[in-house]
Structure formats: C-alpha cells, structure tokens
Chains A and B, each alone.
Chain A
Amino acid sequence: MATTFGPGRQGGVFRGWDRFDYVLVLCAVGLVVFGLLLIYSGTYRTYEGPPASFSNPVTKQAIFAIFGIAMMLAVSKLDYHYLTHYSVVLWGISILSLVAILLMGHSAYGSTRWFNLGPIQIQPSEFAKLATILLLANFFSEHGGDAKDLRTLLMSLAIVAPCVGLVFIQPDLGTSIVFMAIWLGVVLVAGVSRRHLFILAAVGLAVLPFVWTFAVADYQIERISVLVDPEEDPLDAGYNVIQAQIAVGSGQLTGKGLTNGEQTQLGYLRVATKDFIFSLQAEELGFVGSMVLFGLFIVLLMRGIRAAQIAGDISGQLVAVGIVILILMQAFINIAVNLSLFPVTGIPLPLVSQGGSSLVSIFVSLGVLQSIIMRHRAYRQT
C-alpha cells in the first residue's frame, strides 16, 4: 500500500519516543499489577497447578498483559491515520463478528459474548468498541469536522446503532450503554448543536417505554429490581448483589489483607476475579486500596484527555475522546455494579479484571492514544 499520511517527516525507529507518555503507561501497568495481585488472591485456593502454566490465571493474565503492552508499543509506532483510514473495514469486520457470535458463540451467565479459539476466548465487542470510535472520528473529520449538521449527526448515529443493537440482544445492557456514551461524548466534543441533542433526547424518551416492554429481557428487569431490594431474591439474582455489598462493606478502612477476605476466599462472592474484582479489592484492601485504584484511573484518564487536548487534528482528538470515554464508562459501570449503584451487567474493570480480550483491547486503545500524542506536532496545522 503506497498511501502515505502527513507531511512525511518520520525518520528512524526512535523518532517520536521522546513524546511517548510514560505517565500513561505507568498508570496502566500499575493497574495491571493491581489486577494480578487480586487475581492471585482470588484464585490461589482453587488453582493447584504449577505457577508457570498457561492454566494459572495469574500467569495467563501476565502473558496477556505482556502481549498487550507489545501491541500498545506496535500500535503507538503506527500512525493512527492508518487506523482511521481503514476504520470502515475494521467496523465492518466487528459488525460481522457480532452477528456471528449470536449464531455460534458461547454462553455464560445467560449471555452470549465469546468465541472459543483453543484456550483463548475472543470477545468481539471489545474490539467493536475501538473500531466504532475510529469510524466515528474518521466520519466527523471527513464531514466538516464537527457535528453541527443534523444530517451528519444522524449518520453518526447510524454508525453506533448496529453495535448498540447487536450487543443489546446478546444480551449485554452495559456494553450497549458504553457504546451510547462513546457516541454522546464524541458528538459533544465534536460540537453538536444543543437543539439537535434535545430533539434526539425527546425522541429517545418517547421510544423508551417500547424498548422497556418489547426489548428488555426479564432478567434485566429482575436485576434492576434486585438493585432496589436485593433481599427480595436472596438466592438468585440478589445473591451476588448482597455478597458484593457484604464484601465491600466489611473491608472497612484498610481491608482484611490480601488473601484474607472471607467473602472471596470462602466462595461467597462469585466471579470474584472478573466482573466483581472490585469487591474483592475493596474487601481485602479496604477504602485505602480503593482510593489508590481510583487515583490510578483518574491519572490515566486525565492523561487521555491531555492526549485529546494536544491532538494534532480533529480525528486524533475525537479518537482520544472516544477512548477516554470507553475506559471511563467501563470503569464507572463496573465499580457502580460492585457498589450496588447499577444493575448487574457483565462489564469488566479495564486493565484489572481477569480476561485477555479486554486487557489486550485496552492496551491497543492506549497504543492509539500514544500514537496521537507522539504525532501531535506532525499533524498540527497552523
């Protein structure tokens, strides 16, 4: 492919690394290490094989993390315009794989989200999020650079809508919400007209009752009502809500110490190293540990916003904004579920939860951010 991007000032292998955001990477690695400790604590009682085996969840996660970091470095070396340029293709593949998974994927906890590829499970929605961000950014930068035009706005909605719909019928309410939040964040930064937004909001509110009646599964309603009163169904839907509450609350200020949380260690808390890893963290490391975790996330996100701020062009800025919202919303929803502020939905805690797809896709996203940071001068147009 002969297409070149930008003014063509790239030189040797080491060019641009001086602008590489090490703070961002340190925060990400910090969160991964945090996650590895928690996964160790949550699995050492049940895992009995050798430590250096791919079936050891800690080792597996560490290998994914190394692979993710390598991907991040590779992607950051790549001009993000390659990605935005081919974003339609990436998006198309994502949509196809989301359709495919509905037909042949694997189910867990009542929801179909995975492909099994040997020992690895691939969750296409993780990559669909990034592809959608890239396509949205590309779309706006090619259509006048903003979202002021109603036609443009509606077309951008058409990019997100298939993803929201396909994920929603998996069913995965949380990821649908993440998709919608990405769209909303990107169009806000892209300067959407308030009038248009109000109209869309009004239409959305009018449609909501129908969605509630015809599209929301019973289990989702149950999860929402369980949030209001978990004791209503203590054995089924309410079980993990109650157990997570007890785990989090009983951690108190300093926690029970790593590997000492009874809620986790005695198996009361389910999926303790995945969707409920925050409860494990809060039980064993307490309020203090949670604040450290929050601190790492906030710095990471602020560095992402910085990338958006200094981005050399509109597509770079919108991609950065999309990635920030992607990480922010996943972290927020995941922790909110753990704290009984949001109905139970299968969203992992970025960089921390056990799971390769999420980890690698977040590192790829961070690589895109680095790419934007490293090239912001090159694409700054004056």
Chain B
Amino acid sequence: MSVLGEGFQSPSGRSRNRPHGNLAALRIAVILMFGVLAAQLFNMQIIQGGDYARRSRENHLTRKEILPPRGLILDRNGTPLVKNVGIYTATITPAFLPEDANARYALYLRLEQLLGVPALEIQSRVKEKEADGKGDIEFPIKEGLTKEQALALEELTADMTGVALTIQPGREYVGGDAFSHILGYIGKQTPEEYRELRTEGYSLNEPVGKAGVELTYQDVLRGEKGATAAEQDAQGHLLKALKSRDAVPGSNLRLAIDMELQTYIAEMLEASLPNPLTMNQKNATTAAAVVMSAKTGEVLALVSVPAYDNNIFAQVTQRGAEYEALATDNKTRPLTNKALSQALPGSTYKLITAAAALQEGNITPATSRDIPSRILEIKGENGVIYNLIDWRAHGSGIDLTQAIAWSSNIYMFMAVCGIPNGSLQPHKALGKDVDSSASIFAYYQRGFGMGQATGIDIPGEDIGRVPDPAWKARNYAGPDYTDNDRDWYYADTCFTAIGQQDVLATPIQIARMTAAVATGKLFTPHVAKDILDADGKVIKTIKPEWKSVPVDEANLAAVRRGMHESVLAGAGLKAQVSGMDIAGKTGTAEFGTQRPEGSYDQHAWFTGYYPYNDPEYVVTVYFDYGVGGDKAAPAAANIFSWMNQNLGK
C-alpha cells in the first residue's frame, strides 16, 4: 500500500449514495499551496537569508561608541592650557513629547524653572521644529548646564518624555584670554564637515577643532574611539557584554609658546593701549607681537590684543550677547588674530630693500649718499616730476649703516630705483627699466617670504602682498580703470622700497623676515613644539624647516650692522635694554587719507633680534596706530628685557 496512493481508482459502479466527488483538484490544491509557501520560504531564507541574518544581528546587538579623551595642549614648560570637561546639554525631541497640549506646557514650565529658559520660548522653538518637519530630531534647548542643573534635569527626565540630558566632551581653556587666538576652540561638526569627516570614521557627536591649533592638530589630539558591544533583548535589557575596545586618548600637544611670556606680552600690550573711553585723540586700539626663535623658527609668543575668552564658543547660548558684541566690534575686531593679519609694513621693509640692492651690486656697504633735503625731486616718465619725501634731511655722506639706522627713505629710493637720467645725481636702478626693476625687487621680497603664507600651524593667516607690474595690471583690470591706472611707475617701486602704498605684510611675516636677515634662514614658523603621549614621552618632534634666502651672508651682515646701529644710536634707540646687545628696525607706515596739515595716520612697527652676534630670538611688535620708534620700540624693549630676565632661568 503506497502512502499516497490507493484512492486514485474511483470506486466502480454508480449509485445515488456512492461517493462521486473529484478529489484530484484537492490534491493539486495541497501541492500548490505548500509550493507557494516553499517558494516564499526559499526567497526569504536562501535568497535574502544573508540580509535577514544581518538585520537579526543588528536587532539584538547594541554597539556603543566611547569617545576618546582629547589630547591636552601644554605650553613649552608643560603647563596645561586646556582642561577636558563634560558639557551638559538639555535637549528636546518634539516627537516624543506628550501629545496633550496642556501636559506639554506643564513640562515647558518645569524646564523654565530648572533652566531659566522661558516656557514660551521653548514652545515656539518646538513648534518651529515641528513645522519644519524636524519633529523627530533632538535639538538643544540649553547648553553648558551647571552640574547642579544637570543632576536635577537627570532626575526629571525619568518622567518627562521627550526631554533628555546629553553629555558632550568639551574643553575649558584655562590659560587665559591671551591664548585664545592660538588655541582656537572645538565644537560640533557642521553637516558639511560631517559629510567629509565620516569617511574618516568620525561619528556625528565627536567635537572637532574649529580654529587655532585645535583645528591644525585635530588628528593628533583626537585619539581613537573605543566601542562596546552587548546583546540586548526586546525590552532593551543588556544581557551580556560581547566585547569592548578601550578608547585611546589623544596625544598631548606641547607648544613652543611660553605661557608666562605670552601672558606678560599680552598684559603689557593691553596696558600700553590707551583706554578708548578717556582717549581724546587718535591712538592705538589694537596690537600684535611675535617672539620667534631665530635658530628653529619656533614661536614663543604670538600675541594679539584685544583678546577674548574662547570659552565663549562652548557657551554661546548663555553668552550670546557677549559673543555678538565680539563678533560685531568692527573697530578692533577682537576675534581676528592681528599677528596673522596684514598691514602696511613701513620701514621694516627697508631690510629687504637694502639686502636686494647689496645683492644686485647697486650699492656696497660703503656706498654713501648726500641727502641734504627732505625732498628729492625726480623727473620721471613723460617728464612727470616726482617729489619724493624723506622724514628728515639726513645730511651728507650717509652710508648704508646710517641709512638703516636712521631709516632714510631717499637712500633706499636711490639704491633700488636709481636716479633717472636728467636728474642731478644719476644712479643705476635694479633693472634696466622701471618694470624690470620692480620685478627684480619682487623676487627678493618673495625670497624673504613676502606675499605668501608662512606656513605657521595656525589656520587663517593673511598672505600679504608683493606689488609688482603684473599685480598692478591685475588689480586695476576692468572698465573702471584706465591704462594709466594699470601702468607701473618709477614711484611705485620707490614706495614699495619703504614699505608703503601697496605692500602688505603680517607681523609673523615680518618676524620671519627678520630671522632670515639675522641667520640667512627663512623658517617655517611653528607654535607647536612636539607631540607627547599620555606619559609625557615625546612621540614626535616638530623639526625646524627653512630655506635659504637669495642673499649672501656678507650682504646680510651689512644690513645687520645697520640694525645694530639703529638700536644703539638710531631711530630704534628706545628698544635699547642695558646689558643686552639688540639689533632692530623701526617702521612707521602711513595709511589712510592725508590730513589737511599734511600728515597721515600711521602704523607703528619694531622688529629686531638679540643677541646681535649670535641671533637667538626675534621680537616683532605692531600697533595699529603710532610711530615705530616711539610706540613699538619701547614695547619691544619691555619684551627683550623680560626675556633677558626670565627666559631659560
């Protein structure tokens, strides 16, 4: 007897009460129906089985990421400038809030009590989010809660659906306002940043550096995320930990910055800015200073005043008005790092001018000129008469040392631009004509790092400007200008030679140029010194990088003699510190429009180094208003003196 058979033969004979139904259709139905089920089962288990197996794993495995502690930032002596803190934020997910409007408002009122955010404000923000279709996205209602607020909120969140307390890793900057421009700050990733960073394994809740060395050394400071994986049941109970990987803390970054020096300079410069409220005439409102090692290019101090507290970025919701005031202060623009911002360099530029003229053989250290008058009358192109002006009549027999020490404009005009034929004392220019002179001079300016980024490890530096015929043609392109505007003239080269008119340079560029004059090496400046592991062991040292300047050592030495003389008995006399052998150069750059009596607003500069014979440190000081020898040189003297007393002791 077969298992399925036997019934296939219909019973013989016919009778009214004989079974006569057709059962083949029923057999077919059984096979077909189980066939359909088997086909679907095959589809789910065999064809899509791998996919469902993955979903099954995701279902019951929870993965939690552990954010690594961010590396600390230390000054060159190991003093921490930052602290890692938790930032407590109260958030709302509108979709999880109670449906009932009254219950919702009651909840807003409790939050108002606890956080001080008005219930009406919370309500309108929730409505706004819901109207935008973002009801299921968590958004912050108050950031930077105090520990007490956070604890109280934590207790309340148990019976307030839709309200949550989140803890984000954050930074507290403990070094003071003087470090804000260097350190920068960290913050939440923007959607644009996240799109890029997630390919590098970032999760959205990881804060990233937004400015300063926090941004430059993001990869060093970040560390490695850890993770835990656990099995969880349908009710969300964790059953067992499967594996975990510890987070690796970020490496510590030791800066070349000397905390005490930085703080001293910031306070000293701040104090030398007159109080804007009591000031009855124009005076300096901003200042910057750079202290750089002439041997390595390390930056020991990089100061910009007025400064600000960079903890403000982590507390924007509480300190919104304060931030607004900083961001909209167009007079002093405190958020901008003045040490990396470009300005007319004035006579500090004569160091490059002198070096170029020496190297091109236009002058020797002994070349002497008679400058009997403040005004040099030059017959230029097409018979135009230029009245080139010096700040004083330097007298007769002025050599290069005197010219640098007393910052003679006319000596530099003659050295670089020459005196065209037809004038009283014809001299050779750098090139055979006006344009080529300008181009050759531009080559030397670039050789000293002008018109290009210094490569300092702080984002956002200005690159300055080296004006030359090509630049002028570009700058005055378009129908608003004529060919006359675009042409490069004799006087353009002259003004560039004394750091006026179109030249722009940043304090860090001037400091770097000064180091190059002192040593022949054009360094890439670094505020970071080395990278340390958690135990303080050096993992990586940031090595000095430089390229040589296109000027012979003998010619640089001639320029240095002028700088030495300047501080000993010249325009830079006020930078002198007894017991120190300092060389330097002042700069007073005229800018803006001429006043009725003929004077201009002026930037004050001083750049110098010490010791004269074995250059070790470069100091550059800039004020947005003032005379170099009177305003910047004394400030530099304070810095030199402080360094002499405190550095390396």
Contact = CB atoms under 8 A, between A and B. Distances in A.
Contact of B23 (A262, A266, A282, A309): A309
A341 interface: yes
Interface residues on B, range: 35 or more
B133 interface: no
B124 interface: no
Interface in A67-119: none
Contact of A262 (B10, B13, B49, B60): B60
Contacts, number: 168
A302 B60 CA distance: 41
Interface stretch (B24-32, B272-280, B323-331, B358-366): B24-32
A253 B45 CA distance: 6
25 contacts: A145-B16, A145-B20, A189-B21, A246-B55, A248-B44, A249-B48, A249-B56, A251-B45, A252-B53, A262-B57, A266-B233, A287-B46, A290-B41, A298-B34, A299-B3, A303-B4, A305-B30, A306-B7, A308-B7, A308-B26, A312-B19, A314-B17, A321-B23, A325-B26, A336-B37
**Sorted from nearest, which 7 A-B pairs have the closest CB atoms?**
A249-B52, A309-B7, A189-B21, A250-B56, A252-B49, A317-B19, A267-B234
B53 A309 contact: no
B308 to A, nearest CB: 49
A248 B45 contact: yes
Interface string B31-75: 101101110111011101111110111011000000000000000
Given A302-B27, A325-B26, A339-B37, 14 more contacts: A145-B20, A188-B25, A190-B21, A243-B59, A249-B56, A251-B45, A253-B46, A267-B234, A282-B41, A287-B46, A290-B45, A307-B7, A309-B8, A309-B10
A309 B232 contact: no
Nearest to B5: A306
B35 to A, nearest CB: 9
A356 to B, nearest CB: 26
B22 interface: yes
A247 interface: yes
A251 to B, nearest CB: 6
A16 to B, nearest CB: 16
A262 B52 contact: no
Interface of B: 3-8, 10-11, 13, 15-23, 25-27, 29-31, 33-34, 36-38, 40-42, 44-46, 48-53, 55-57, 59-60, 231-235, 239
B27 A305 contact: yes
A335 to B, nearest CB: 5
Contacts of B234: 266-268
Given A250-B49, A251-B45, A189 B15 contact: no
A337 to B, nearest CB: 11
B34 A191 contact: no
Contact of A306 (B4, B34, B60): B4
B7 A335 contact: no
B52 A313 contact: no
A249 B17 CA distance: 50
Contacts of A262: 56-57, 59-60, 231
Interface string A295-324: 001110111011111111110111001001
B33 A313 contact: no
A245 interface: yes
A318 B234 CA distance: 47
Contact of A302 (B17, B30, B42): B30
A27 to B, nearest CB: 9
A5 interface: no
A47 interface: no
A259 to B, nearest CB: 15
B11 A23 contact: no
Interface string A140-165: 01001110000000000000000000
A189 B22 CA distance: 6
B159 to A, nearest CB: 21
Given A250-B53, A267-B233, A328 B30 contact: yes
A294 B37 contact: yes
Contacts of B50: 252
Contacts of B37: 294, 332, 335-336, 339, 341
Given A248-B41, A305-B27, A336-B37, A311 B59 contact: no
A268 B58 CA distance: 12
Contact of A250 (B46, B52, B239): B52
Contacts of A287: 41-42, 45-46
A382 interface: yes
Contacts of A23: 3
A188 B17 CA distance: 17
Nearest to A324: B26
Contacts of B11: 310, 380
B60 A297 contact: no
Contacts of A249: 44-45, 48-49, 51-53, 55-56
A246 B34 contact: no
A298 B4 CA distance: 10
A371 interface: no
B56 A247 contact: yes
Contact of B52 (A189, A248, A303): A248
Nearest to A290: B41
Nearest to A255: B45
Nearest to A252: B49
Contacts of B41: 248, 282, 287, 290, 339
Contact of A282 (B5, B45, B51, B232): B45
A200 interface: no
Contacts of A189: 21-23, 26
The winner among A188, A290, A305, A336 for most chain B CB atoms within 10 A is A305
Nearest to B18: A381
Contacts of A190: 21
A185 interface: yes
B21 A251 contact: no
B45 A286 contact: yes
Contacts of A381: 15, 17-18
B44 A314 contact: no
A291 interface: yes
A232 B25 CA distance: 39
Interface string A332-369: 10011001110000000000000000000000000000
Interface string A203-221: 0000000000000000000
Nearest to B19: A317
Contact of B17 (A141, A297, A303): A141
Contacts of A185: 26
Contact of B56 (A263, A306, A336): A263
Interface string A185-203: 1001111000000000000
A298 B233 contact: no
A294 B39 CA distance: 12
Contact of A251 (B3, B36, B49): B49
Contacts of B29: 328
Contacts of A341: 36-37, 40
A291 B52 contact: no
A336 B49 CA distance: 18
Contacts of B22: 189
Contacts of B5: 306
Nearest to B37: A335
A303 B6 CA distance: 10
Contacts of A268: 59-60, 233-234
Contacts of A313: 17-19
Q: Quick one: which of A266, A302, A309 has the most chain B CB within 10 A?
A: A309
A298 B52 contact: no
Given A185-B26, A249-B49, A267-B234, A314 B19 contact: yes
B367 to A, nearest CB: 86
Contacts of B48: 249
Nearest to B34: A294
A321 B21 contact: yes
B234 to A, nearest CB: 4
A298 B31 contact: yes
Contacts of B30: 298, 301-302, 305, 324, 328
